[in-house]
Structure 1
Amino acid sequence: MTTRNLVIKVTSGADAPERCAQAFTVAAVAAASGARVSLWLTGESSWFALPGRAEEFELPHSAPLPDLIEAITATGTITLCTQCAARREITEEMLRPGVRIAGAQAFVAEVLEDGTQALVY
């Protein structure tokens, strides 16, 4: 059986909590289902790359964001957009464990891999 790849770009954070939570939930469920997941944090979701920020996020009837992040990083990757990090003055040293910073070239390379599906939230 071929492993499926799923790349998810989440652009919203606390400004659009339902859309944000949906992206993290889909990523965690896909990871638990055996897909190779790559979650990209852009725009307002960039803040969740920092320790403690996901713990502040609450949405009724949604799984806690830290639990979803743990499920995603158990088998997949979480990447913070280079430009989004720079605009927010976020550096590698500031990131929560399991998060990396990379740019558009890495995103495009992941999306163009055979067997990859991409979603944007």
Structure 2
Amino acid sequence: MRGPAGPYSGRMAAPNKLVIKVTSGTDAPERCSQAFTVAAVAAASGVEVSLWLTGESAWFALPGRAAEFELPHAAPLPDLMAGIQAGGLITLCTQCATRRGIEEKDVVEGVRIAGAQMFVKEIMAEGVQALVY
């Protein structure tokens, strides 16, 4: 890459889509809250968001579970989830759901269950930025 006088400005183009994989839940509340907050802010900013619930965050796909999550000075998880769904998609990992006995009929409306193949497809698309929390 050349400097300011060259063909590249040194700035990357903004991603068209942000894929966030949340691996934590009540076991690491700050990390969990950060992921949901970043996803909700991105969605509110007009970025297409895909939030993946994996590991302990899988429980938040169930009705009422997000309301049980508490972290001082953090936005309520149900509000963040609503913001994400307004401008994006929330996906529950297939294996994580299966390990926890969660089925499609059990999840919050608007949450899909999908596996690694779909995750890889999303993160490999052009214009995508991926984050893992």
Alignment partner of 1:35 is 2:47: yes
The C-alpha deviation readout for 1:7-66, integer Å capped at 9, x for no partner, is 000000000000000000000000011110000000000000000000000100000000
Once the 2 structures are TM-superposed, how far is the Cα of residue 3 of structure 1 from its aligned partner?
6.6
TM-score, normalization: structure 2?
Answer: 0.89
Q: What is the match of residue 6 of structure 1?
A: 18
| Structure 1: tracts of 5 or more residues without a match | none
Q: How much identity, in percent, do the aligned residues show?
A: 73
Superposed CA RMSD: 1.3
Distance 1:109 1:42 in 2: 17
Contact 2:15 2:129 in 1 (8 A): no
Structure 2 counterpart of 1:104, one-letter code = A
Show the 5 A alignment for 1:1-121: 4-121=16-133
Q: Which protein is bigger by CA-based radius of gyration?
A: 2
The C-alpha deviation readout for 1:41-93, integer Å capped at 9, x for no partner, is 00000000000000000100000000000000001000000000000000000
**SS of alignment partner, residue 40 of structure 1:** strand
Distance 1:86 1:3 in 2: 32
Name the count of aligned residue pairs. Answer: 121
| Structure 2: tracts of 5 or more residues without a match | 1-13
Q: Segments of 4+ in structure 1 off by > 3 A?
A: none
TM-score, normalization: structure 1?
Answer: 0.97
